[in-house]
Amino acid sequence: MTNLAMPGRRPANANYSSGPCAKRPGWSLEALKDAALGRSHRAKIGKTKLKDAIERTRAVLGVPADYRIGIVPASDTGAVEMALWSLLGARGVDLLAWESFGEGWVTDVVKQLKLEDVRTFKADYGKLPDLNQVDFDRDVVFTWNGTTSGVRVPDGEWIDADRAGLTICDATSAAFAQDLAWDRLDVVTFSWQKVLGGEAAHGMLILSPRAVARLETYKPAWPLPKIFRMTKGGKLIDGIFEGETINTPSMLAVEDYLDALAWAQSIGGFEGLKKRADANLAVLADWVGKTDWVDFLAVDPKTRSNTSVCLVVVDPAVKALDADAQAAFAKAIATALDKAGVAYDIASYRDAPAGLRIWAGATIEAADLEILTEWLDWAFAAQKAALKKAA
């Protein structure tokens, strides 16, 4: 007989949004008491904090010393757009897309930049396109981890080390949790509000020496707005990559990012962060393995994200429903857990297949995920009972 009694335990943290993501364990507003509020970001105190954010980012991620790191406007989206509009057009482009954000970059390149020599390789949600088809004599644009599909590239071995084109990688839900092949990447972007649980609105743009060379030797055929311009007189504007931001940053958000980076360093840096995310994925994988009503959206275990874990309901009775009813069933599970106050924001992304999306990045505790699985089983059983009653 199905037990519809609510579980007796509750997660200590019910925030499972895939962005903005949960704050680090133990976070409080007190951690931001030293923020340079009311001070200019161009004053010594502001520049020092912004420079510190850049150097701590380099230290935690292991970014090569000759790569440039900049803090830019408009979150990861702003960082990607700066790269696309400033660097593309010098040669043909290969675009990879297997979820909504990758699709967004395809749209920008094809319909906004209107580049003609473009090849697009797409895959359905849950799968990767054939990476062997990519031509690295061309520029290549891709996401490392598909935030809305829970599918990531398995490694960087598919990228040519000796390539003529640039690789532009949106790594916003991969950075700080997944091994990035720095020697294979020329542009890497991410935002503060993902794996480290920072605040939104600021993006990080990391450029290899090859990307800098492109910026200094290539001028796009289209005009660039001020916030996209990274060169002046044919030379890189060094200040952008030393803490002199293009627009005014939030010093409160900067302080929060510094706090998150300090926490990351305290638990072992990148390896500590990755270990926590991997352990969180293992909790969910163990539960999925012994639960017959749910499965991963990612088909291949090697490509399953350890941050944005996307799940689908595979119960036969639910699968027999039409698409709208399946979507309603999955949404009802998310709504029930939200109302119970044990899991917020776990519905699948609006463009993704119906299901659930649970953030499992480093700021989440494995113990909370273990408890959450009990509530997921409870919510499914309750909705299944309601479905039978309605029939």
- Give 363's pLDDT tier (boundaries 50, 70, 90): very high
Q: How many domains does the chain have?
A: 2
Domain membership of residue 360 (yes or no) is yes
- For residues 281-298, one letter each, b for 16 or more C-beta atoms within 10 angstroms of the residue's C-beta and e for the rest, the string is bebbeebbeebebbbbbb
Q: Which candidate, 369, 372, 353, places its Cα nearest to that of 361?
A: 369
How far from the centroid of its chain's Cα atoms is residue 324's Cα? 28
- Taking all residues of the chain, what is their mean pLDDT, rounded to a whole number? 97
CA atoms within 13 A on the CB side of 299: 8
Place of tokens 């891709």: 142
Residues 92-105 have pLDDT tens digits of 999 999 999 999 99
Can you tell me the distance from the alpha carbon of 210 to that of 74, in angstroms, rounded to the nearest whole number? Answer: 24
Run of H or E residues at 215? helix 209-217
Which CATH number belongs to the domain containing residue 299 in this structure?
3.90.1150.10
pLDDT at 2 over 60: no
Q: What is the mean pLDDT of residues 220-244?
A: 96
pLDDT at 23 over 70: yes
Domain boundary among 219, 241, 265: 265
Residue type, 315: D
Same structural domain, 181 and 276: no
Provide, rounded to the nearest whole percent, the portion of the chain with pLDDT above 70.
99
pLDDT for 157 equals: 98
Same structural domain, 136 and 116: yes
Run of H or E residues at 312? strand 308-313
- Residue-number span of the structural domain to which 301 is assigned: 269-390
Domain membership of residue 18 (yes or no) is no
DSSP count for the chain of H helices, then E strands? 9, 14
**Are 145 and 359 in contact, with CB atoms under 8 Å apart?**
no
pLDDT at 233 over 50: yes
> pTM of this prediction?
0.97
Domain boundary among 265, 290, 325: 265
Which CATH number belongs to the domain containing residue 185 in this structure?
3.40.640.10
pLDDT at 1 over 90: no
Residues 161-197 have pLDDT tens digits of 999 999 999 999 999 999 999 999 999 999 999 999 9
Same structural domain, 210 and 277: no
Same structural domain, 80 and 199: yes
Domain membership of residue 187 (yes or no) is yes
Same structural domain, 34 and 142: yes
Same structural domain, 252 and 276: no
CA atoms within 13 A on the CB side of 272: 12
Domain membership of residue 3 (yes or no) is no
Can you tell me the distance from the alpha carbon of 352 to that of 157, in angstroms, rounded to the nearest whole number? Answer: 28
Q: What is the mean pLDDT of residues 251-265?
A: 98
Same structural domain, 211 and 70: yes
Residues 103-120 have pLDDT tens digits of 999 999 999 999 999 999
Residue type, 236: L
